[in-house]
Structure 1
């Protein structure tokens, strides 16, 4: 099947546009995070509580009494952090749409499912990570930057080191198992990215706090001020746990379906190929994290470190195994 060069070019343009939009979004999200102050947020909660407590509005400092005849209470202006966050959030959604457009256009250009090389795999994983971040962090928008920045790094690597021209896949990948197996694994990888980031932020929060509790860090120091703007430690821990619960069965299903595909393609379910081995190790590490977090009650840094180890195993599997180690899964599409 000939390649549609026009659609392939549009796909590349969409990808590059998405990267540019994410860069701009990160600027607004960083501005939101930097201008968000704990004191201001606490003050806002106090005003809301005061307005709901049944006390007259005149008793709330800084507000015009609504019950005074002839006086009109002006609509309070939105804080700068919320304005920056709104713009950043809108740009993240736009970047996601452009990323999805690049995936669809690549598939139309090649007349195949667009997951035949590392460039396409990383693009799909980035889209899954952004979707997960938008859903999981809808109540903590100021932390979306910590998902967007890793996505930008992966997209930069995809566009430079991992880029592959639109082309047909090798014969071994011309199977209906390709969209099933690789899609599940790439989506699971994107979800694990959010879980890994949440655990890293949790570890930072706990280190700065200096205790095993959910208290915020003591005043003083740039790192302490940074940590105070993060969500509560328990919130980050729950986020890591919930996203891992979603990603774990997806990734496990992808490994199982890959074994079924291997039996059809190579005549065996499992051969301890480097890709298979590291995938299994990553799956076991995540299983250990869920067991430690749920059964053993390790709601502290020990379980978080296990989750980070699983994320590192995923990255090792994606880059080192695909790019350095030779095996049956050497379909990275790199020259």
Structure 2
């Protein structure tokens, strides 16, 4: 089927615009991270004082608990004026939402332009993985008080998108005959989505180690670590996002084996990409097991998660661009 050049061009424009908006949002988040420390500390101190007052029987807001007729104290700290850094952070979040919508538009238009799933080469794969990474982060900042860390998450995303749009760009075209299968939709999408989600725990685990090192020795990373949330918050972010991605990654590996049997007549052949994917799977399985084992929680588990993240990045770049194998479909000229 002929390629719709107009939709392809609009897809490229949407991708470039999304990248530019992410860069602007990154700057806003870095400003919030740099200058919003006092506001966050003031809010935390106000909440602590309000809890102390309620615990001591001091003035506090009470509300009637439904169905009991009893008064249950509810902590309502005094409203703090919104600082300039807080407003800039909210602007960064709004820009991020806009960038994610444009990112999604680029994917959809690429799919319509080629009349296939828009992840048939490395350029499209990274486009999908980075979109999933940003969408996952939006869910994380809605659940956890880590919005001011968005700059650390967006930095690798922006770098990936810049490299992808310049060095790895591939014009819209039909996929190779070997990829013209419904398994492209199932297997590759599962791999790309899980890879995008794994970006979040990778960054969170690195920040966790920095925070933990500072807590053990306040002289280490004194200026930087003090701006990070508590180590247990970062640990929960890393664990819950890994729990979300790991089953999907497992599903993708299994689907790849089924597709390999259909295409090449064997389920597993220790191709470089298969081997690296299996190593990454073992590492993430070890991380989840270590989180369930009391003696390996915390720093040791974070190190394992970082190794899994490194294996994923190695599989994405080195295996696709350097080694030769049956999975050489990067589409990079």
Bigger drift between 271-280 and 32-41 goes to 32-41
How far the C-alpha of 1:251 sits from its partner, in A, is 0.5
Determine helix, strand or coil for the equivalent of 1:144: helix
Q: Is the 8 A contact 1:134 1:144 kept in 2?
A: no
Asked if 1:160 corresponds to 2:169, the answer is no
Q: Which residue of structure 2 lines up, in the alignment, with residue 249 of structure 1?
A: 247
Question: Partners in 2 of 1:315 and 1:161 — Cα distance?
Answer: 16
Give the structure-1-normalised TM-score.
0.88
Whether 1:45 and 2:47 are equivalent positions in the alignment is: yes
SS in structure 2 of the partner of residue 137 of structure 1: helix
Deviation for aligned residue 1:45: 2.4
Task: Tell me which of 122, 127, 130 is aligned to 2:131.
Answer: 127
Structure 1 residues 279 and 76, CA gap change in structure 2 (3 angstroms): closer
Aligned pairs (5 A) from 1:1-335: 1-38=1-38, 39-46=41-48, 49=51, 54-55=58-59, 77-138=81-142, 139-210=145-216, 217=218, 223-335=221-333
Q: Distance in 1 between matches of 2:187 and 2:253?
A: 8
In the alignment, the residues of structure 1 paired with residue 81 and residue 232 of structure 2 have an alpha-carbon distance, to the nearest angstrom, of 31
CA-based RMSD: 2.0
Contact 1:12/1:102 (<8 A) preserved: yes
TM-fit CA distance, 1:81: 2.1
| Alpha-carbon separation, structure 2, partners of 1:153 and 1:252 | 27
Question: What CA deviation, in whole Å up to 9, does each residue of 1:66-120 have, x standing for no partner?
Answer: xxxxxxxx98531122101110000010110010000000000111110100110
CA distance in 2 between counterparts of 1:11 and 1:301 reads: 42
Structure 2: distance between partners of 1:272 and 1:3: 35
TM-score if structure 2 supplies the norm length? 0.89
Conserved? CA contact 2:50–2:60, under 8 Å: no
Q: Which runs of 5+ in 1 are unaligned?
A: 58-73, 212-216
Alpha-carbon distance in structure 2 between the residues aligned to 1:301 and 1:56: 39
Q: Is the 8 A contact 2:183 2:259 kept in 1?
A: yes
**Hey, what does 1:60 align to over in structure 2?**
none
- Asked whether the equivalents of residues 271 and 326 of structure 2 are also in contact (C-alpha less than 8 Å), the reply is yes
Task: Give CA-to-partner distance per residue, 1:48-70, whole Å, 9 cap, x none.
Answer: 5488675389xxxxxxxxxxxxx
- Contact 1:195 / 1:241 at 8 angstroms: preserved in 2? yes
Q: 1:317 to 1:179 in 2, by over 3 A?
A: same
Alpha-carbon distance in structure 1 between the residues aligned to 2:93 and 2:216? 32
